[in-house]
Amino acid sequence: MTVLEQPGAYRPTPPPAWQPRVDAAPLLPDAEPYRLLGTDAAADIDPALLTRLYGELVRGRRYNTQATALTRQGRLAVYPSSTGQEACQVAAGLVLREQDWLFPSYRDTLAAVVRGLDPVRALTLLRGDWHSGYDPRDHRVAPLCTPLATQLPHAVGLAHAAHLKGDDVVALALVGDGGTSEGDFHEALNFAAVWRAPVVFLIQNNGFAISVPLAKQTAAPSLAHKAVGYGMPGRLVDGNDAVAVHQVLGEAVRRARTGGGPTLVEAVTYRIEAHTNADDATRYRSDAEVEAWRAHDPITLLEEAMRDRGLLDDQAVRAARDAAERLAADLRERMHQDPAPDPMDLFEDVYAEKTGQLREQADFLRAELAAEEGER
């Protein structure tokens, strides 16, 4: 005899007809990635925004090539290039207000630089020096995150805490397509939607999680479609169209700031370079595929659009490239200077106030260093 078969057992009545909690239609992304460049709407884009985006894209490309060269010269241990993805990086760096926070992955050094971070400090972690390389509070840029997607719950936590305090803060969290296969991705989106946290998630879908193509990670129609399962809007955008990415992110940030909750944005782009300098991309993709994406280069797309409107000429192009060369020269000069780290920095920026154990360890190291100095 089962429990329900016992005399007097509770027998629930049939439930009412099932109804969805929210209408899913407004949450669904467009069937095709949203774009602006090459459309009639491009004529209405603010010329000042176009000029700013173009200058940052050119600087960003040169930053990527210089950092890659520094890796080959042994000045960096590793560099995950964002060549080909600069439109996503630049838009992410420009779309936030000063009080907002950026949560980057390891490939998002350019976004941090556009946000205002010193280019050398942005590379310090990849060099193997001094903690994360910078104080996150200086520019509201969280430490570069090497573990996949672990920065996403941090972004949600900060955004939710700011909301509880009544602070006008939005968090923008960046992740690659590979990171969407991690549990942290699910947890972050679920909490963000339930709490209606002021956070925006930007997926840079560059085609591969190291050597694994997207088709082997998910059977979803797009990564943006995943948003519906959490109860937030999903947006699909051409990740090489800098203006479109800036507009879509801007709308998502405004929505978050005004209490509308989180948004998931998928930017469809491509990783032109290998995963890192330690990767041989020729083992899992063809040269023809790479060349096809080079024809959709974000700098070329924007340059052609600006020339069509008479907003860019050869002199302006040279000026942008000269500015990029100055950035590269400064980066090169400072990165070739051998760092002189202070061992006592090990105990800084661990806690707001040093614990007793940290003070004890610092005293021990200080005594050892003094003893070594005395023996010289």
- CA dihedral sign of residues 311, 315, 320, 321: positive
| pLDDT for the residue numbered 87 | 98
50 membership: H or E segment, kind and range: helix 47-72
Residue 345: which residues within 8 A CB-CB, separation 6 or more? 130, 131
Percent of the chain with pLDDT over 90: 83
pLDDT in tens, 286-330: 999 999 999 999 999 999 999 999 999 999 999 999 999 999 999
* Closest residue by Cα to residue 309 from 11, 18, 34, 38: 38
Averaged pLDDT score across all residues of the chain: 93
Q: Is the pLDDT of residue 346 over 90?
A: no
The type of residue at 319 is A
| pLDDT for the residue numbered 17 | 66
Residue 117 and residue 156 in contact, taking contact as beta carbons nearer than 8 Å? no
In the structure, what pLDDT confidence band is assigned to residue 356 with cuts at 50, 70 and 90? very high
Ranges assigned E (strand) in the chain: 101-103, 171-176, 199-205, 208-209, 212-213, 234-238, 263-268
In the structure, what pLDDT confidence band is assigned to residue 376 with cuts at 50, 70 and 90? confident
Over range 196-213, report the average pLDDT.
Answer: 95
| pLDDT for the residue numbered 340 | 79
| pLDDT for the residue numbered 12 | 60
In the structure, what pLDDT confidence band is assigned to residue 7 with cuts at 50, 70 and 90? low
Q: Is the pLDDT of residue 22 over 90?
A: no
- Across the beta sheet with 199-205, the strand order is 101-103, 171-176, 199-205, 263-268, 234-238
pLDDT in tens, 223-279: 999 999 999 999 999 999 999 999 999 999 999 999 999 999 999 999 999 999 889
pLDDT in tens, 24-73: 999 999 999 999 999 999 999 999 999 999 999 999 999 999 999 999 99
pLDDT in tens, 127-174: 887 767 888 999 999 999 889 999 999 999 999 999 999 999 999 999
| pLDDT for the residue numbered 283 | 94
Is residue 224 packed enough to be buried (19+ CB in 10 Å), middle (13-18) or exposed (0-12)?
A: buried
| pLDDT for the residue numbered 348 | 83
How many Cα atoms are found within 13 Å in the side-chain-facing hemisphere of 16?
2
3-state helix, strand, coil in the chain (%, to 5): 50, 10, 40
Percent of the chain with pLDDT over 70: 94
In the structure, what pLDDT confidence band is assigned to residue 4 with cuts at 50, 70 and 90? low
| pLDDT for the residue numbered 10 | 59
The type of residue at 1 is M
